[in-house]
Amino acid sequence: MECTTVVLDHGYVRLIETWGSDSAIIEAARMSTQKGFQGWGSKQTCLKCGKVVQLPSDDPDSGGCQEKGEHSWDKPVPGDEKLLAYLYKHKHMTPFEMCGAIFEIKAPIFVFREWHRHRTQSYNEMSARYIPLPNENYSPEVHNLVGRSLAAANSANRQAGTQGVVLDLDTALADLLELEDYYQRGQALYNRFLAHGWPKELARLPVPVARYSAMRASANLRNWMQFLELRCAPQAQEEIRLYAKAVFAILELDFPRTMKLFRGNHDS
């Protein structure tokens, strides 16, 4: 299933493949007892005839079986969602390593420099040593830029902080026009160096960290959650936070129960 989310002005997060499932996590956790995956949702057994019914909710407190007749129902037994929640809550994380995902990401180089600090992932990135990078550079939206300047001026965060000066709208517009001109001049110089016969690995010197590149990133589910824990946090730089949220939304499709646990832990 192809799943692509647009991020920033030219970027995206695209799912290449996933492996494993929520039930595979249970299977891995139960290797020690050889019980395997028992199923989602609570079950109830008749004490008289032994009939087992599936309750309509995963919540074992949702009530007993509504079936009429001569049955005498035992207390509902919770399904494997209880074990999944136990594993996550108590940080028994090795079963979560049995699943994973590969993404293709297009992002500015400065975003990748932050992303690559997560050394538990495997990467392969487009190389300007072999091909010219596309002429696409990141430009923040003017109102976002002004708003972040105001927030940064009042922030104790040294990474986001300013010199105490708040950027006004007119100055921001003028600065962004100058930035676009800078990008064009850098591209012209890059093209000229290539035309003059510079090796591609040196012709790229004028390329800014705002230039878009592309990479594939692979990790198991445990390590994707560690990435999301840091990069979805409010303290993370906004650009990489938007990419992390896109990764989360895609993982939620293939690992809904695990990502629900992750969301519940971080929304509280």
Cβ neighbours of residue 156 under 8 Å, at least 6 residues apart? none
Average pLDDT over every residue of 156-178: 79
Contact status, residue 28 vs residue 222, Cβ threshold 8 Å: no
pLDDT digits (tens, 9 = 90+) for 181-192: 999 999 999 999
Contact status, residue 110 vs residue 246, Cβ threshold 8 Å: no
CATH of the domain at 267: 3.30.1360.170
Res 155: pLDDT: 66
Distance (Å) of CA 231 to CA 115, 136, 215, 245, 251 = 9, 24, 18, 8, 15
Q: Which two tokens stand for residue 166?
A: 């708040």
Distance (Å) of CA 224 to CA 74, 118, 121, 181 = 40, 9, 8, 38
Q: Which residues are catalytic?
A: 231
Residue 162 is part of which domain span? 139-207
pLDDT digits (tens, 9 = 90+) for 132-160: 888 999 999 999 999 999 988 776 655 55
Residues 9 and 124 reside in one and the same domain? yes
- Counting the structural domains of the chain, the total is 3
| Residue of 22, 7, 35, 36 lying closest to 106 (CA atoms) | 7
Contact status, residue 105 vs residue 218, Cβ threshold 8 Å: no
Average pLDDT over every residue of 55-65: 47
Residue with tokens 């072999």: 130
Res 217: pLDDT: 98
Distance (Å) of CA 228 to CA 100, 110, 233, 251, 263 = 14, 18, 8, 11, 10
Residues 103 and 121 reside in one and the same domain? yes
Residues 49 and 121 reside in one and the same domain? no
- C-alpha–C-alpha distance, residues 143 and 170, integer Å: 11
Residues 52 and 143 reside in one and the same domain? no
Average pLDDT over every residue of 25-54: 79
pTM of the model: 0.84
- C-alpha–C-alpha distance, residues 105 and 231, integer Å: 15
Q: Which two tokens stand for residue 133?
A: 């990078």
Residues 23 and 99 reside in one and the same domain? yes
At 257, the pLDDT band (50, 70, 90 cuts) reads very high
Residues 62 and 19 reside in one and the same domain? no
Residues 128 and 12 reside in one and the same domain? yes
Domain boundary among 207, 230, 253: 207
Residues 48 and 162 reside in one and the same domain? no
